[in-house]
Structure 1
């Protein structure tokens, strides 16, 4: 008989006596054999409803190869195989303690889990005896009473973790290294009212996205910047491995949709052996690229134009699982987020 399947308490009483039920503790279960890999990462305290595809997107910049999520009644965790052991170290450094769907995740090296044989020190749980029904406390009649008002359950508001590239601390450091001026971060928060946005990158299944606010001033800045980059990309020398350091401003190829790749301004976030994690300042996008693919772009005139893209968040909707690029959204900027006031809320205009 299944020990968790309890019969009606009223049927357990026989002439005022309680029938005792003994619940045998289940024998300990040992995990299966697991061979540790240096490139494997453990992620704990995940949201219960997060999907493996979502988890892969959270860690996409570290070269995710495989994802395996595990879930219990009250806990959820996962194991990810990344591109290399160095990427594991980088993911731990950058992601441990970050928020995912409102929960602060734990990121660590995957431990070596092997089956353990029971020893003489293992003790067996004693038999458990249920408390008599009469001693379980006062009875509560849960049936609805007349003339009572029922309240609708409150609607829960879903909170989304703000992407690292949109956070104030990240952007302030980028602006200081690349533009020697952080004023842009505060000026973009002043945008309000009707606007047309050119979407450059989205965070799937969240409201966050990067876009260019289409104005005449911005259009002129785009023409000037991309014209200068087109002239210099062929003659700009490649950086040596020693020249590439955290905080270096340079030039790298960026995916720009169906049109393929184009050379754009970027900032080195992290250097890991022969790879570099870079942030494309005009697209709001991070990528991992080979060190020998970066070109020199340190003249101040290339960085006189402030970043073209800025962070936004949809007021009501969320983006689909597929990435969206180079699409124009029309609507209204309704104000900043309370937590990060440089991220503007955007309401899409009804068609």
Structure 2
């Protein structure tokens, strides 16, 4: 199925006039920690609350240097920058001296393209709250989740709906967090570049839903492009040829962090590529890398699949989140969704936000 790609690129950064940075102070941002206790820390934060001189910039390439970030902000008189790499994510906090430069930096840099990435630039105080700006992190904290069987049989998911006076929030499922994906996929593929490439998808898409989280906006789907179709045929043709030849793993060979193959749960399940999340007695918890699903299966039902040739094709699916609404309770596997990718999740930039237009 061919889906016409539509790119909504804004004015490139190269066309923007950048003045030379006169103050190239590379001293990292200091945390406000007082020996007299947290009360003094709050007092100092209140004094600096009105300054609003810190800017957050996200979705940066991990190889970018702090000097290059300063060059991006050269027209806005940057004082210092602190770059942070967390898993596949790279972001930075830039001090631009005065409040007026914060607004200018946001208006000129937000949503612009840098090295193929759409930058996220925002006021750190407004987006995180001034009292937490000096220790801001990109990942939301994990909530304490009570056992809830209505969430289905998800093994790794710890997501939960959180409501406050103004909005409804959902914790990112553990399977979709970059730190977890880096561990799993680097073990399987040695190269996790597909995650950064997936963030470049923009515009109209057609998605085949592979797995979803009941009552949550998150789901795994295959982007229906000619390239994906070719990769899918290549992968499953290779698996079908060697399915009978591959030996079952012996009990002593079943180990956490091992790549393997197993039948997909359900009737008439095909053999799929998997990664062993954990071993519990005589059972293993598997992550099916080409569907995003997790399942607990008998250890004796897992076959060996450790040759690199079977892992040459990158994962067929990637994570998405609905712009509005949640996935229902009904089975969504195989459902075709048409819509438009309008950006990415602000906490996990490899999770794309999609506005649905039709559902088949």
TM-score, structure 1 length as denominator? 0.58
Among 317, 328, 351, the alignment partner of 1:343 is 351
Correspondence for 1:165: 175
1:204 aligns with 2:204: no
Q: Is the 8 Å Cα contact of residues 151 and 214 (structure 2) preserved in structure 1?
A: no
Which protein has the larger Cα radius of gyration, Structure 1 or Structure 2?
1
CA change 1:233–1:319 in 2 (3 A) is same
- Cα deviation 1:6-52 (Å, max 9, x = unaligned): xxxxxxxxxxxxxxxxxxxxxxxxxxxxxxxxxxxxxx9558xxxx8
RMSD: 2.3
Alignment partners' CA distance in 1, 2:258 and 2:299: 12
> Structure 2: 5+ residue runs without aligned partners?
1-142
Alignment partners' CA distance in 1, 2:162 and 2:251: 38
1:286 Cα deviation from its structure 2 partner = 0.3
1:59 Cα deviation from its structure 2 partner = 6.9
1:349 Cα deviation from its structure 2 partner = 1.1
Among 143, 147, 153, the alignment partner of 1:60 is 153
Correspondence for 1:265: 273
1:319 Cα deviation from its structure 2 partner = 1.0
The correspondence of residues 34-183 of structure 1 with structure 2, limited to 5 A, is: 55-58=148-151, 60-61=153-154, 100-102=160-162, 156-183=166-193
Correspondence for 1:214: 224
> Structure 1: 5+ residue runs without aligned partners?
1-43, 63-93, 104-153
User: Moved runs in structure 1, 4+ residues, more than 4 A?
Assistant: 44-47
Correspondence for 1:70: none
Correspondence for 2:317: 309
Count of aligned positions: 217
1:203 Cα deviation from its structure 2 partner = 0.4
Q: Is the 8 Å Cα contact of residues 238 and 293 (structure 1) preserved in structure 2?
A: yes
Q: Is the 8 Å Cα contact of residues 218 and 308 (structure 1) preserved in structure 2?
A: yes
Correspondence for 1:291: 299
Among 273, 289, 293, the alignment partner of 1:281 is 289
1:285 Cα deviation from its structure 2 partner = 0.4
1:241 aligns with 2:334: no
SS of alignment partner, residue 174 of structure 1 = helix
Larger fraction in helix:
2
Correspondence for 2:326: 318
